[in-house]
Amino acid sequence: MPSSQGRVLVIAGSDSGGGAGIQADIKSVMALGGFATTALTALTAQNTRGVTAVLPVPPDFLTAQIDAVMSDIGADAIKTGMLPDTASILAVADFVSRLSPRLPFVMDPVMVATSGDRLQSEDALAALKSRLLPLATVITPNIPEAELLLGRQIRDEAAQREAAQALLATGAQAVLVKGGHLTGETLTDLLATRDGIVAITGERIASLNTHGTGCTLASAIATGLAQGMGLEDAIRRACAYVAAAIRAAPGLGGGHGPLGHNVTVDPSRIAALRVQ
């Protein structure tokens, strides 16, 4: 059974600017009452304007971090973010496969930063799709990431719906295709499961302070699952948390600024998320 607090093991890269990656993951998990542990996959030199360098962590040291956490503290859910190369993907897939499906696994296929920078090598994509994606409780691609996974363009909600169905067919238990890169006053995220597709819609917030939204959302979902919430409830709370964090952004940097992670979720905002 999950602990009452919810222990989330985050396996992801570091963001030196503090807005995304492991830094955003820790802030999100703790803000929602969980406890975050980490295994670093890569170091990045980045800020709100972009990524200037990436240094992958050797897979044996990545595994050592995971083993250290699991042999002592344990976890109620796993969340992955940036996995920069095939070696790290295979190491994580081996670990997750030993625990699946006992532990919820949220996979954020981090391949493109908010700035547009590619964060994952081309040769890692096939390993991600074949070895890790089928193990996921839910994957959370944005539109550019879904396009890379499927090799097709997504320009409207109809194509977003088709993409969600296509990604579900690759083996994950559920797929959340985020609609932030589409246009319109309403933002629509599509949750696809074996039972069908649910559209979760909310107000689109006009803001440049969106660095780390994907990391934040996936970690918030993992926290909910670690605390024993159902998937849709965990997603609805996570969406409300991200919206609140965007509104509370501190306005730092000259590019896509970080979120204000130290916010509480207003229950009325969770209820206000319309489900179609």
**Catalytic residue flag (residue 129):** no
Q: Which of 44, 86, 188, 210 is catalytic?
A: 210
Q: Is 18 a catalytic residue?
A: no
Strands 186-193 and 196-203 come out as: antiparallel
Q: Are 115 and 44 in contact (CB under 8 A)?
A: no
Active-site entry in 18, 202, 212, 257: 212
Active-site residue, 210 included? yes
Asked, as a colleague might, if the bond just before 141 is cis with ω within 30 of 0, I would say: no
**Identified catalytic residue from 214, 224, 257, 260:** 214
Annotated active-site residue 34? The verdict is no
What DSSP letter does each residue of 157-179 carry, written as one string?
Answer: HHHHHHHHHHHHTTT-S-EEE--
Q: Give the active site residue among 41, 213, 216, 223.
A: 213
CB-based contact 199:188 (threshold 8 Å)? yes
Q: Is 151 a catalytic residue?
A: no
Q: What angle do CA 174, 177, 183 make, to 5 degrees?
A: 160
One of 6, 178, 223, 239 is an active-site residue; which one? 178
Active site residue 260: no
Active-site hit among 6, 80, 215, 216 = 215
Residues taking part in catalysis: 178, 210, 212-215
